[in-house]
Structure 1
Amino acid sequence: MTAFVFRRGRVSLRVERRTAVLVAVLGVVLAGLALLGLCYGAAWASPARVFAALGGAGGGPGVVIREWRLPRVAAGLVFGAALGLAGAIFQNVTRNPLGSPDVIGLDSGAYTGALVAMTVLSGSPTQLTFASVVGGLVTAAAVYLLSMGGSRSGLRLIVIGIAINAMLTALNSWIVLRADLEVAIAAVGWSAGSLNGIGWSDVAVPFGVLAVLFAVLLTRAPALHQSALGTELAVTTGVRHESLRLQLIVLGVGCTATVTAVAGPIAFVALAAPQIGRRLARAPGIPLLPAALTGAALLAGADLVAQMLLAPVSLPVGVISTAIGGCYLIWLLTKEVRRK
């Protein structure tokens, strides 16, 4: 397959031609979704008004675009990319299309941590973020340790994750039932996964955390792709497989928990985005960049549908992503059954 090779000093980057074209197309799609998200609202804003508002003009309508719509659009793109990367990480680690944070219980674990912060502590944004990350890490550690008796890549890890997910779901329900009424209502609404009401103050710290996680993941991407070709081949090329797996799990949990802390558990984006990106790129493994861009497009598109479907009432984006993801999961399971 034709590829583009970029060299600068000792650093070289090889990009398959089809992947480069796919990235360009997805970039255009994301730009279109972002523009539509900035135009759509209680009052439609023309693209000219949007560009003027982004430049600092526009008065009151400009403030609405910059302070209300822009944070929501940015959150949809960045959080979608984070979920897509998290899904790609776990599907590469498990080598199974069902290896996703929401399937193996990491979303539920992050939600448990957030519930503890909301019911026991004051539930500040910092506490929610920290508690979500801790909950996700504890869940990932439990899944990892319980799967140590056999192969940690494949069906065993996923089945254990599904079991832990079920137990955490029951625990979360019990916590909500035992909480005060106001806290319970807030927790249930938050658990649907929503970008409603997100402002710059809500996303400033999460964006910084995700930027660090993205940068670290970029340094581990070559080893990840080598590992995807096979454990034996990766080891012969100098990849420390177990160390790499632990690092990737921490990065994937960090991405998932950071999004969950702000927007709640948004289901199925991490499951569907990597597989859609892989099929579009026709790659042998789960490529990270197509997964990230596809995740951004899925979440941004789902959020637009959530705003438009019952307008002027804005649905939680998790409702739309769950409906889309449920259909995708049925299709994926049907295809796997027919293949076997």
Structure 2
Amino acid sequence: MTNTSIAFIMAGRRQRRRRWILVTSILALLSLALCCAMLLLGTTFYSVKDVLRVLMGEELQGVSFAINTVRLPRMLAGLFAGFAFGIAGNTFQTMLRNPLANPNVIGITAGSSAAAVFCILILHANSTVVSVASVIAGLATVLIIYLLSRGKIFSIGRLILIGIGIQAMLDSVISYLLLVGAQQDIPAAFRWLTGSLNGVQLYELPPLIITVLIFSPLLVVLGKHLSLLELGEQSATTLGVNTDMTRIALILSAVFLVALATATTGPIAFVAFLSGPIAKRLVGVGFSNVIPAGLVGVCLVLASDLMGQFAFETRFPVGIITGILGAPYLIFLLFRMNRKGDL
């Protein structure tokens, strides 16, 4: 390889790095701006000065209650759940080399939701029990899907098809629970089905925040192996990747993120599905897509929640807005994959 070729390759790498840094910085600033908007906007508009005084611990009549009880928990839930859904969805899509392979489509969020709805309607459990059951059910669901799809040789197509079948079964279980559940518990259960930031309390957030702070860096570290898995099973093995152990670590990390986010906000539709492809379009190829995908997830959740609160005469949960945004993209993706012969 000549010096000219090396210089050309290095110049291209520097250009891709600058693009990654620029896009990631813009997404981070946009996320910060949306977080500020979540704290400032509401039935009553509060100044930046008043919000900062409350966040510093000062008591202001009316303002403290609105910020500490309503707006701050709502903002933090959207921030960490959006990042969790975005990074987990990107992990599944990249690892399985298929844009359809996200937690919503292959049944993982359905498993967590079914457990949460069962605890709410049948056991009348508190939020702690609901969160624990959601995590366990999410792990159990992904374990069942993985084992059924493995066979003699791991198959991505088999995993997706089995996941879709498991999701359909769990959706039927959820429908049955809604039919037999007590009428007064139905509104709380519907939260898990639509995805909402309404009613989130500060004491419910530590498990989600801790999970994101633990598993997000792990997925960032594993980002290099994730990119190698995208090349295929044989290529990754040839390059020295222990595919089974790496895949298990990636799946467990992503499932914990999805399960805790679902336990906190419900399965917010299409965030995990949209974040990875949007981030990939923005940052291009050559560098890890993990952090940008998480930031896109944050922007989608917070922007959709603001739209649901203020863009219409009636207030809508965030999951309805993200569903409206994501459904056309899913149809477009299916048509494009059909034309390419991937379906």
Task: State the TM-score, normalized to the length of structure 2.
Answer: 0.89
2-structure distance, mates of 1:36, 1:187 = 28
**What's the offset of the Cα at 1:117?**
2.1
Which residue number in structure 1 is paired with residue 75 of structure 2? 73
1-structure distance, mates of 2:320, 2:152 = 36
The alignment status of 1:236 with 2:247, answered yes or no, reads no
Which residue number in structure 1 is paired with residue 261 of structure 2? 259
**What's the offset of the Cα at 1:266?**
1.0
2-structure distance, mates of 1:212, 1:122 = 30
Q: 1:238 to 1:60 in 2, by over 3 A?
A: farther
2:120·2:185 contact (CA, 8 Å) conserved in 1?
A: yes
* Over 4 Å off, 4+ runs: none
Which residue number in structure 2 is paired with residue 314 of structure 1? 315
Which residue number in structure 1 is paired with residue 198 of structure 2? 196
Which residue number in structure 1 is paired with residue 7 of structure 2? none
Which residue number in structure 2 is paired with residue 11 of structure 1? none
Alignment size in residue pairs: 329
1-structure distance, mates of 2:136, 2:256 = 9
Which residue number in structure 2 is paired with residue 215 of structure 1? 217
**What's the offset of the Cα at 1:150?**
6.6
Q: Which amino acid aligns with 1:299?
A: V
Which residue number in structure 2 is paired with residue 333 of structure 1? 334
2-structure distance, mates of 1:105, 1:286 = 26
The SS at the match of 2:205 is helix
Q: 1:224 to 1:190 in 2, by over 3 A?
A: closer
Which residue number in structure 1 is paired with residue 14 of structure 2? 3
Gaps of 5+ in 1: 5-14
Q: 1:219 to 1:189 in 2, by over 3 A?
A: closer
Which residue number in structure 2 is paired with residue 112 of structure 1? 114
**What's the offset of the Cα at 1:229?**
3.3
2-structure distance, mates of 1:16, 1:227 = 21
2-structure distance, mates of 1:85, 1:151 = 27
The SS at the match of 2:310 is helix
Among candidates 123, 126, 137, match of residue 125 of structure 2? 123
Which residue number in structure 2 is paired with residue 19 of structure 1? 20
**What's the offset of the Cα at 1:109?**
0.5
**What's the offset of the Cα at 1:185?**
3.5
Among candidates 187, 190, 195, match of residue 189 of structure 2? 187
Q: Which amino acid aligns with 1:3?
A: R
2-structure distance, mates of 1:262, 1:95 = 28
1-structure distance, mates of 2:339, 2:55 = 50
Per-residue Cα deviation, 1:84-118 (whole angstroms, up to 9, x for no partner): 01101111221101111000011111111112322
The SS at the match of 1:60 is coil
Which residue number in structure 2 is paired with residue 91 of structure 1? 93
Gaps of 5+ in 2: 1-11
2-structure distance, mates of 1:201, 1:126 = 10
Which residue number in structure 2 is paired with residue 101 of structure 1? 103
**What's the offset of the Cα at 1:20?**
0.7
2-structure distance, mates of 1:169, 1:271 = 18
Which residue number in structure 1 is paired with residue 176 of structure 2? 174
1:92·1:286 contact (CA, 8 Å) conserved in 2?
A: no
2-structure distance, mates of 1:236, 1:188 = 47
**What's the offset of the Cα at 1:295?**
0.6
The SS at the match of 1:75 is helix
2:113·2:192 contact (CA, 8 Å) conserved in 1?
A: no
2-structure distance, mates of 1:326, 1:281 = 23
Q: 1:113 to 1:240 in 2, by over 3 A?
A: same
The alignment status of 1:34 with 2:35, answered yes or no, reads yes
Coordinate RMSD, CA, aligned = 2.1
2-structure distance, mates of 1:149, 1:124 = 39
1-structure distance, mates of 2:86, 2:284 = 17
2-structure distance, mates of 1:130, 1:260 = 11
Which residue number in structure 2 is paired with residue 7 of structure 1? none
1-structure distance, mates of 2:121, 2:108 = 20
Per-residue Cα deviation, 1:141-177 (whole angstroms, up to 9, x for no partner): 2211221237545322212111111111011111221
The SS at the match of 1:283 is coil
Q: Higher relative contact order at CA 8 Å, sep ≥6: structure 1 or structure 2?
A: 2
Q: Which moved more, 1:231-240 or 1:74-83?
A: 231-240
Which residue number in structure 2 is paired with residue 163 of structure 1? 165
Per-residue Cα deviation, 1:291-330 (whole angstroms, up to 9, x for no partner): 111111111111111111345x532111111111101112
2-structure distance, mates of 1:177, 1:18 = 51
